Amino acid sequence: MLRILHDTNYDFIRWWKVMAGITIAFIVLGLGSLAIKAPNWSIEFTGGTLMQLNFTQPPDVGEIRSTLDAAGIHGAEIQQFGTPRDFTVRAQNAEQVAAQSKGAATIANTIESVLKKKFGENAVRVVRKEGVGPRVGQELKRGAIIAILLSFLITLVYLSIRFEWRFALAAVIATSHDVFTTVAFLKLMHLEISLTVVAGLLTVLGYSLNDTIIIFDRVRENLRKGRKESLYDTLNRSINETLPRSVMTHVTTFAATLALLLFAGEVIRPFAWVMSFGIVTGTFSSMYVAAPILLWIERKWPRKTGTRTSSSTATPTSRTRRSTATATR
């Protein structure tokens, strides 16, 4: 039997202050730079025009830019997309978005016609074209925020029922931590926040929650056993006991995301980045956010002696268990 990290007894939680320092620094760095410069919203959110163009000959970017400028489309972002013959053009400044409110295809049509005039009718092919009016973007932004908040609320309720409110709160705080780190990551990587990336973010939240629940499930079980140990030790024990599972799952999932990152192409790459980072932050937050927060909640609002086990579990056997020592250390 091949075993890794079997029967370990690391004191994971001891390092929580260091870890908290690292993650807070990361979040402050990311959100700080967010305060300096707004995030890179995709045109789905800001409104505007995105075109993916395929040229028969590698074109000169300056030439594309000057052609667009001559047509009155200023400040468009022109980027190579994969091969030297593929480019994306993004026109999403306020003036261009305002022009979209008359009809979302106007700017895209202008870009297409001027580039075809410049490079030749058959030298440019429009592979993808997206035009979004300003209103749609606002609705999407609101939808994404509602989706995240709603998923938190539902999780809170579900975990309160299945575990108890302390666990639910700790799990949700750990998950919101992942929202912040992922947003910071997006910012530091200069990734564009698109709908797909938001979907990736929500998957990360689900994944991180998954991981927290696996550990909390073990805590719940160990609490039921009624050992004479502090919650601190129970948490450490639970993290150690679930360690082989954590490593195996993260390895396989990471393998899958890595495959996406490397082979699934340019369109899905930001999503794959978010997922890869999500696996890291999800694992981290389960150990170093969820667990210390649970300890903190316990210290702040201690369970009444004798009710802890019955409130934390739903099984009839638990009522016979003795309560364990206080959770603080």
Partner 1 sequence: MNLKWRIAIILGLTAASIWALFPRTVVERVKRNGVFVYDTVRRVPLKRGLDLQGGMHLALDIDESKGAVADKSKAIDNALKVVRNRIDEFGVSEPVVQKAGNDRIIVELPGIDDPQRAQDVVQKSAFLEFQITDKTQALEKALPRINALLKDTKVNVASSATATTKDTATQGLQSLFTADTTKKTDSTKTDTTAAAGSTVGGPGAFSKLIQPGQLPGQYIVAQSDVDLVSQYLSMPAVQAALPPGKVVRWASDTLSFGGRIYRPLYVLDAKPIITGQYLTDAKPNTSPTEGNLVEFTMNNEGARRFRTETGRHIKDYMAIVLDQRVMTAPIIQGAIGAHGQITMGGQDLQAAQDLALVLRAGSLPVPLKVADVTQIGASLGKDSIHKGITAGVIAIVLVVVVMLGYYRFSGALAVAALSLYILYTLAALAGFSAVLTLPGLAGFVLSIGIAVDANVLIFERIREELAHGKTVRTAIDEGFRHAMSAIVDSNVSTALTAAVLYQYGTGPVRGFAVTLLAGIAASMITAIFVVRTFYMIWLNRSRSAQTSLSI
Return the residues of window 7-46 that contact partner 1 according to CB under 8 A. Answer: none
Q: Does 3 bind partner 1 (CB under 8 A)?
A: yes
Which residue's CB is nearer to partner 1, number 29 or number 247?
247
Size of the site for partner 1 (CB under 8 A): 78
Please name the residues in contact with 264: beta carbons below 8 A apart, sequence gap of 6 or more.
Answer: 272
Sole binder of partner 1 in the list 18, 28, 61, 251 (CB under 8 A): 251
Q: Does 2 bind partner 1 (CB under 8 A)?
A: yes
Sole binder of partner 1 in the list 34, 71, 123, 199 (CB under 8 A): 199
Q: Does 150 bind partner 1 (CB under 8 A)?
A: yes
Restricting to residues 74-93, name those near partner 1 by CB under 8 A: none
Sole binder of partner 1 in the list 122, 252, 317, 320 (CB under 8 A): 252
Stretch that binds partner 1, among 61-69, 185-193, 248-256, 298-306 (CB under 8 A): 248-256
- 294 contacts 275 by C-beta, under 8 angstroms: no
Burial bucket for residue 265 (CB in 10 Å: 0-12, 13-18, 19+): exposed
Q: Does 174 bind partner 1 (CB under 8 A)?
A: no
Q: Does 268 bind partner 1 (CB under 8 A)?
A: yes
Sole binder of partner 1 in the list 23, 236, 257, 286 (CB under 8 A): 257
Q: Does 280 bind partner 1 (CB under 8 A)?
A: no
Sole binder of partner 1 in the list 67, 249, 311, 323 (CB under 8 A): 249
Q: Does 275 bind partner 1 (CB under 8 A)?
A: yes
Sole binder of partner 1 in the list 180, 185, 232, 271 (CB under 8 A): 271
Task: Give the rounded distance of the alpha carbon of 129 from its chain centre.
Answer: 27
Sole binder of partner 1 in the list 104, 174, 231, 290 (CB under 8 A): 104
Which residue's CB is nearer to partner 1, number 20 or number 147?
147
Instruction: Name the minimum Å distance from CB 218 to partner 1.
Output: 8
Stretch that binds partner 1, among 116-124, 153-161, 281-289, 318-326 (CB under 8 A): 153-161
Three-state DSSP string of the chain = CCCCCCCCCCCCHHHHHHHHHHHHHHHHHHHHHHHHCCCCECHHHHCEEEEEEEECCCCCHHHHHHHHHHCCCCCCEEEEECEEEEEEEEECCHHHHHHHCCCCCHHHHHHHHHHHHHHCCCCEEEEEEEEECHHHHHHHHHHHHHHHHHHHHHHHHHHHHHCCHHHHHHHHHHHHHHHHHHHHHHHHCCCCECHHHHHHHHHHHHHHHHHHHHHHHHHHHHHHHCCCCCHHHHHHHHHHHCHHHHHHHHHHHHHHHHHHHHHCCCCCHHHHHHHHHHHHHHHHHHHHHHHHHHHHHHHHCCCCCCCHHHHHCCCHHHHHCCCCCCCCC
Instruction: Name the minimum Å distance from CB 114 to partner 1.
Output: 16
Instruction: Name the minimum Å distance from CB 93 to partner 1.
Output: 18
Q: Does 255 bind partner 1 (CB under 8 A)?
A: yes
Q: Does 254 bind partner 1 (CB under 8 A)?
A: yes
Sole binder of partner 1 in the list 64, 73, 124, 140 (CB under 8 A): 140
Q: Does 219 bind partner 1 (CB under 8 A)?
A: no
